[in-house]
Amino acid sequence: MKVKPLHDRILVKRIEEGEVKTGSGIIIPDTAKEKPQEGQVVAAGNGKTLENGQRQPLEVKVGDRILFGKYAGTEVKIDGEELLMMREDDVLGIIES
């Protein structure tokens, strides 16, 4: 299924971290881990419509790695995969490699 976000919304796939250990070597189980705040944009809308009717294009694009707030976006399940739908305003930054 293909999903095209509307306006200034983006669809993000969380980037899962590997196995997490504490400083003393204790492995933290999946149920106790915090959800990652890093993801990859998999779909993006056309941009925000301004008051004068013009469309402002998004700064993020498909394929960008981004940082977002802990409680940003709405979780959606598409084709059995959990993704986040959020506004571009929820993006804290783009990770450049």
No. of helices (H) and no. of strands (E), the chain? 0, 8
Residue 19, class by beta-carbon neighbours within 10 Å (0-12 exposed, 13-18 middle, 19+ buried)? exposed
Q: What is the 3-state secondary structure (H, E, C) of 54-71?
A: CEECCCCCCCCEEEECCC
Q: How many structural domains compose the chain? A: 1
Tell me whether residue 23 is in a domain.
Answer: no
Q: From first to last of the 97 residues of the chain, give the pLDDT tens digit.
A: 688 889 999 999 988 765 555 566 666 665 555 566 889 999 999 988 889 989 999 999 999 999 998 888 899 998 888 999 999 999 999 998 7
Tell me whether residue 54 is in a domain.
Answer: yes
Other CB atoms within 10 A of residue 84 CB: 19
pTM, to two decimals: 0.76
CATH number where 68 lies: 2.30.33.40
- CA dist 5 → 35, 62, 75, 84 (Å): 23, 12, 14, 11
Domain membership of residue 85 as a residue range? 9-16+30-95
